[in-house]
Structure 1
Amino acid sequence: MAIWDKKFNDRINQDIPLSTKLSELNLLVVDTETTGFAVGKEDRLIEIGAVPITGLKVQEHETYQTYVDPMRDIPENITALTSISQSDVKQAPQALEAIESLFLQERTQLLHGLVGHYLSFDMQVFKHELRRSGFKFQEPPYVDTLDLLSFLVPTWEMKDLAYYASVFQTRIYDRHSALGDALTTAYLFCELCERVMERGITTWGELLQLKSSRVL
């Protein structure tokens, strides 16, 4: 049974002052794996990974990972890409329970927002999975590494996460694993924040404004 009413309210603090310094933020880096890209139609969630960032430091000891039962077969090409098989998800929670677990109060009550690489896709995954259970997802404040990259290097085309991590010499974990990609994104994000601060972006409000300037 869902622990919230029909409006799925995450428990992220949306009243944080926009003047809050980046070095004071508590953020959660999120990544998902799915059976394909048509998440508004037949494709479903199969894994969630997350890792907190506190004060621009990655908290590897507090990671979150769960497989998710998609209630359908996982295509062979997705298993080849992600290494997630039908046996991995057989005893896993379904999407609503997995998303609720991600947004547990104990995990999110002190969070200021989410972070991800191409996070708009993950937000769509949550939106459609919750809609299937009759819930409306209230999108929390979030920042995409693509926004920071667009600000720092506006001529770049969108490339693979590992490419950016390699260029900025940050850690690279297992690719196409939700937790591995979340960790890779977390370290890349912290490095990018250091660089945008050198360009005068020092507050939460200024970081959020970068979303409107993306040209990637």
Structure 2
Amino acid sequence: MKDMRPAGRMWHLYKMGGITPALTSMFDVQSAQQMAFMRSMMKEQRKNSLYDIPLDTVELVVFDLETTGFSPYNGDEIISVGAVAVNGDAIMEDQSFYSLVNPKRLIPEQVIELTGITNEMVDQAPDLYQGLRAFLEFVQQKVLVAHGTGHDKHFLNSALWKTSKVSLSHRMIDTMMIGKWLNPKLGKYDLDTLLQLYGIDISLRHHALEDALMTAKLWSSYMNEIRSRDIHSLGDLYTHLGNH
């Protein structure tokens, strides 16, 4: 007898016709198409071997998220995404991305005060899937960079699983980790402290695109120090950070 519980039925349908028909049978057509698109994108990303790419030519997307709180697994949601492309240490300010995201819940007052994003502003914004898809289409297969990647990775993984039942497969670099490695005696490694250390003007904080641009400038400032330590490829950098 075939196991017709959801997981068993899914496996049976997959064996009969592949992932897309299986998804379509288990979910509505729109949801199945969304999930198939995200799965395809993550599959393509896993094919790429990035370790040998020279840091001078690596294609990156530096990004930032604004959210309703700190825990995507306790109901907090993304409310904006900002990103900018970087090639090596060159910031491509003409290649940037910004979108509000409708969290489908009220934004706490303290978050409104911090970010300037109001409930009225997100009311007509793209939903989570639309915002996430637009962001990933901007990213393509590039390496992701953020300051304190744990927070952002948790929210991206939660969003991908919620919308598409898939996990993020992009490589990530954490500018906070690099800051700790390059400046082990600094003590504080928040974005403001490191921006001040490297003489980078602090503009509008807690705006996803502005924070992404400042983080990109921080990455660019790191590059000379990284090269001086005989680290010239993405693989070298990952290996060195893994040892610290």
- TM-score normalized by the length of structure 1: 0.89
Within 5 Å, give how 1:20-169 maps onto structure 2.
20-104=53-137, 107-109=138-140, 111=142, 113-169=143-199
Q: Is the 8 A contact 1:145 1:189 kept in 2?
A: yes
Question: How many angstroms apart in 1 are the aligned matches of 2:40 and 2:148?
Answer: 22
- Matched AA of 1:187: K
Q: Aligned Cα RMSD in Å? A: 2.0
The alpha-carbon deviation at position 97 of structure 1 amounts to 1.2
Partner residue, 1:187: 217
- Matched AA of 1:9: M
- Matched AA of 1:201: I
Partner residue, 2:232: 202
- Matched AA of 1:7: R
- Matched AA of 1:51: V
Partner residue, 1:172: 202
The alpha-carbon deviation at position 9 of structure 1 amounts to 3.4
Question: How many angstroms apart in 2 are the aligned matches of 1:81 and 1:145?
Answer: 22
- Matched AA of 2:124: Q
| Higher percent of residues as helix | 2
The alpha-carbon deviation at position 134 of structure 1 amounts to 4.3
Cα deviation, 1:153-196, whole Å, max 9, x if unaligned, reads 12333432122111111243310111111001000011112211
How many residue pairs end up in the alignment?
211
The alpha-carbon deviation at position 206 of structure 1 amounts to 1.1
Q: Is the 8 A contact 1:9 1:137 kept in 2?
A: no
Which structure is higher in RCO with an 8 Å CA cutoff and minimum separation 6? 1
**Could you say what secondary structure the match of 1:53 adopts?**
strand
- Judge which range, 205-214 or 54-63, deviates more: 205-214
**What 5-or-longer segments of structure 1 have no aligned partner?**
none
The alpha-carbon deviation at position 124 of structure 1 amounts to 0.6
**Could you say what secondary structure the match of 2:73 adopts?**
coil
Question: How many angstroms apart in 2 are the aligned matches of 1:100 and 1:108?
Answer: 10
Q: Is the 8 A contact 2:141 2:170 kept in 1?
A: no
Question: How many angstroms apart in 2 are the aligned matches of 1:88 and 1:8?
Answer: 32
- Matched AA of 1:49: G
**Could you say what secondary structure the match of 2:60 adopts?**
strand
**Highest Rg: 1 or 2?**
2
Q: Is the 8 A contact 1:50 1:182 kept in 2?
A: yes
